[in-house]
């Protein structure tokens, strides 16, 4: 819910001179005046005032943009491309990592405005989900992976980077002492579904188009060589181009 005092605080977070010296941008002054009205203007009226402020001026006001988008219903679709949003998600490369058995996956995206600096209010993250583990796999998995769950990697990052590099360990959830003693005749498998997501500033996470991948890790035992193999395969499930890569490590 919009609160004018909170809005002013967000402007001051972005510009600590706000309120102490006259505004150089009359268009921003007009927006602040509109929002000071006890009867909040419609999203359409506010969007027109927002578009009077040039995109390069908005770049320093990422907290202000997030506040408006999260607290003015219906505003996002009206100003999405003026503020800037992420487009053109794609895989740049997927290859073996420096650590034996790992996969390194690099992805990129662009800004709808043509300038990544306009994406300071947009956050990105990964979302990884898995189902209940098969009973025969549970003894070899970390406890967090015995039952269905989700995690979002190391957290969120601003979309201004224009991309991200994701490294997947071939051992992953099989990081237990029991895995190092596995002697089963059949391989055991753990499957995860990954998507890359973004928040346009309104607090709602959306999947990048064509950003779905499946990550399969397998533990197997070769009795002749008395050797265990941890293998990982990452396959695109919604991405164009059929991205796929496999790596493994023997221990």
pLDDT at 23: 52
Same domain, 71 and 96: no
* Residue range of the domain that includes 67: 4-83
Percent helix / strand / coil, the chain, rounded to 5: 30, 35, 35
Q: Which helix (H) or strand (E) holds 88?
A: strand 86-96
Which is more confident, 26 or 52?
A: 52
What distance, in Å, lies between the first and last C-alpha atoms of the chain?
Answer: 56
Q: Is residue 88 predicted with pLDDT exceeding 90?
A: yes
> Phi/psi at 201 (nearest 5 deg)?
110, -10
> Exposed, middle or buried, 17 (CB in 10 Å: 0-12/13-18/19+)?
exposed
Using pLDDT thresholds of 50, 70 and 90, give the confidence band for residue 17. confident
pLDDT in tens, 31-79: 998 999 989 999 999 999 999 999 999 999 999 999 999 999 999 999 9
Q: Which of 83, 116, 140 is the last residue of a domain?
A: 83
Same domain, 126 and 218: yes
- CA distance linking residue 27 with residue 200, whole number of Å: 23
């Amino acid at each position: 819910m919009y609160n004018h005092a909170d809005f002013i605080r967000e402007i001051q977070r972005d510009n600590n001179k706000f309120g102490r010296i006259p505004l150089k941008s009359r268009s921003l002054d007009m927006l602040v005046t509109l929002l000071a009205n006890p009867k909040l203007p419609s999203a359409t009226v506010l969007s027109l005032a927002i578009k009077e402020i040039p995109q390069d001026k908005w770049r320093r006001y990422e907290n202000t943009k997030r506040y408006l988008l999260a607290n003015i219903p219906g505003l996002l679709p009206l100003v999405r491309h003026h503020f800037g949003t992420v487009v053109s998600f794609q895989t740049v490369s997927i290859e073996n990592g420096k650590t034996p058995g790992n996969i390194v996956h690099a992805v990129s995206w662009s800004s709808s405005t043509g300038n990544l600096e306009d994406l300071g209010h947009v956050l990105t993250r990964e979302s990884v989900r898995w189902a209940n583990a098969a009973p025969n796999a549970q003894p070899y998995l970390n406890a967090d992976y015995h039952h269905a769950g989700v995690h979002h990697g190391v957290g969120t990052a601003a979309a201004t980077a224009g991309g991200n590099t994701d490294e997947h360990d071939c051992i992953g959830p099989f990081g237990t002492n029991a895995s190092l003693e596995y002697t089963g005749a059949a391989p055991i498998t753990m499957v995860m579904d990954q998507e890359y997501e973004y928040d346009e500033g309104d607090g709602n996470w959306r999947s990048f188009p064509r950003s779905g991948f499946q990550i399969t890790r397998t533990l197997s035992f070769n009795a002749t060589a008395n050797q265990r193999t941890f293998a990982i395969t990452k396959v695109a499930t919604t991405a164009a181009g059929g991205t796929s890569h496999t790596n493994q490590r023997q221990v």
